């Protein structure tokens, strides 16, 4: 199968454990794929303002990106918004009520910021071992403490791309999933304890398909690489889905192939094999 578009997850897939950089081998593989005419589309749960330096180098392949698990498709170099599926405030209020009833921390993600109450911030600090990167890198830069999240939802013109439940205890996972399945939302696990909730049509799969429409690419000629629960829809929708070696079994089960981990250049290896025609 000839690949025309590569949808590539970032954290845990393309990025090293610093959450900022690619290996030289991956940079080389992406450049070679681009020279072959393949569109490279990072697909991430991050907001545009939180994209890492690795995808803002001015490389020839930097064009489209799928953000916030499919809530937005933007131009990488300029941030131009091409397509959006933002959450309705009423759907977000259902999620807030669920979080409050179970005593879970919750964040609203909008316009490059994360809104949370002081209570939610304190709840997250109680789980710093699991949330170290989020607490020490994301929230200091993008977190905004507010008296209530309802006040944020009442703001006119709010572009609400996600609601995050940063820490869901294992024993509450099934209960939270059942409640969200009955709500008008999409949701995916981005980590063992982290749930990200979006508009009902906002998934990485739909974001990838939107990129295909914009670029005139046949979805059958796509390859996707990912490692987390929020990548599953994309891996299933792609012509070829590749899971990282470090992915959970459910992610591997959704894929057509499995490569090595991000620490072992798994993304580069997959590009070399399936796009560049290597061994």
pLDDT of residue 9: 98
Q: What is the pLDDT of residues 88-143, one digit of tens each?
A: 999 999 999 999 999 999 999 999 999 999 999 999 999 999 999 899 989 999 99
Q: How far apart are CA 45 and CA 162, in angstroms?
A: 9
Query: Which positions ≥6 away from 204 have C-beta within 8 Å?
Result: 7, 9, 43, 66, 69, 70, 224, 226, 230, 231, 233, 234
Closest CA to 46 of 85, 64, 72: 72
Q: What is the pLDDT of residues 26-40, one digit of tens each?
A: 999 999 999 999 999
Q: How far apart are CA 249 and CA 240, in angstroms?
A: 17
**Domain containing 172 — which CATH number?**
3.30.1240.10
Write the CA distances from 214 to 60, 68, 80, 84, 222, integer angstroms: 18, 18, 13, 13, 14
Q: Is residue 263 part of a domain?
A: yes
Q: Is residue 26 part of a domain?
A: yes
Of 199, 218, 247, which one is at a domain's C-terminal end?
199
Q: Is residue 279 part of a domain?
A: no
Q: Is residue 24 part of a domain?
A: yes
Do 11 and 105 lie in a common domain?
Answer: no
Do 110 and 164 lie in a common domain?
Answer: yes
Do 234 and 218 lie in a common domain?
Answer: yes
pLDDT of residue 279: 66
Do 207 and 75 lie in a common domain?
Answer: yes
Closest CA to 205 of 43, 2, 21, 25: 43
Q: Is residue 233 part of a domain?
A: yes
Low-confidence ranges of the chain (pLDDT < 50): none
pLDDT of residue 1: 78
Do 211 and 255 lie in a common domain?
Answer: yes
Do 148 and 99 lie in a common domain?
Answer: yes
Do 14 and 47 lie in a common domain?
Answer: yes
Q: Is residue 142 part of a domain?
A: yes
pTM exceeding the 0.85 threshold for the entire prediction: yes
Q: How far apart are CA 233 and CA 210, in angstroms?
A: 14
Of 199, 223, 245, which one is at a domain's C-terminal end?
199
Alpha-carbon 268 to chain mean position: 19
Closest CA to 8 of 260, 223, 228: 223
Helix ranges restricted to H, the chain: 24-35, 89-102, 118-125, 128-133, 139-142, 149-153, 173-181, 204-215, 232-237, 249-254, 266-274
pLDDT of residue 71: 98
Do 159 and 210 lie in a common domain?
Answer: no
The owner of tokens 């057509």 is 256
Do 148 and 247 lie in a common domain?
Answer: no
**Domain containing 35 — which CATH number?**
3.40.50.1000
Do 180 and 216 lie in a common domain?
Answer: no
Do 80 and 94 lie in a common domain?
Answer: no
Of 179, 199, 219, which one is at a domain's C-terminal end?
199
Do 244 and 217 lie in a common domain?
Answer: yes
- Domain of 162 in residue numbering reads as 89-199
**To 5 degrees, how large is the angle CA 183–CA 171–CA 99?**
40
Q: Is residue 149 part of a domain?
A: yes
Number of domains present in the structure of the chain:
2
Residue 81 dihedral angles phi and psi, to the nearest 5°: -85, 125
Write the CA distances from 121 to 8, 114, 260, integer angstroms: 31, 11, 35
pLDDT of residue 74: 98
């Amino acid at each position: 199968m000839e690949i025309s578009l590569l949808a590539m997850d970032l954290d845990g897939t393309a990025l090293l454990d610093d959450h900022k950089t690619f290996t030289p081998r991956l940079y080389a593989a992406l450049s070679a794929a681009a020279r072959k005419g393949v569109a490279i589309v990072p697909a991430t749960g991050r907001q545009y303002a939180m994209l890492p330096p690795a995808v803002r180098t001015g490389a020839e392949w930097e064009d489209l990106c799928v953000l916030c698990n499919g809530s937005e498709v933007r131009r990488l170099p300029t941030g131009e918004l091409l397509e959006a599926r933002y959450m309705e405030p009423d759907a977000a209020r259902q999620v807030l009520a669920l979080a409050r009833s179970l005593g879970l921390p919750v964040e609203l993600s909008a316009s490059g910021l994360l809104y949370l109450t002081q209570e939610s911030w304190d709840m997250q600090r109680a789980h710093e071992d699991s949330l170290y990167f989020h607490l020490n890198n994301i929230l200091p830069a993008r977190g905004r403490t507010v008296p209530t999240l309802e006040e944020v939802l009442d703001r006119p013109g709010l572009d609400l791309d996600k609601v995050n439940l940063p820490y869901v205890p294992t024993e509450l996972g099934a209960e939270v999933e059942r409640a969200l399945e009955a709500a008008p939302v999409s949701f995916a696990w981005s980590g063992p304890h982290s749930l990200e909730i979006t508009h009902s049509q906002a998934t990485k799969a739909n974001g990838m398909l939107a990129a295909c429409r914009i670029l005139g690419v046949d979805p059958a000629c796509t390859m996707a690489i990912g490692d987390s629960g929020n990548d599953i829809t994309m891996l299933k929708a792609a012509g070829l889905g590749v899971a990282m070696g470090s992915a959970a079994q459910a992610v591997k089960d959704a894929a057509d192939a499995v490569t090595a981990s991000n620490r072992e250049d798994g993304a580069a290896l997959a590009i070399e094999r399936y796009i560049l025609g290597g061994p």
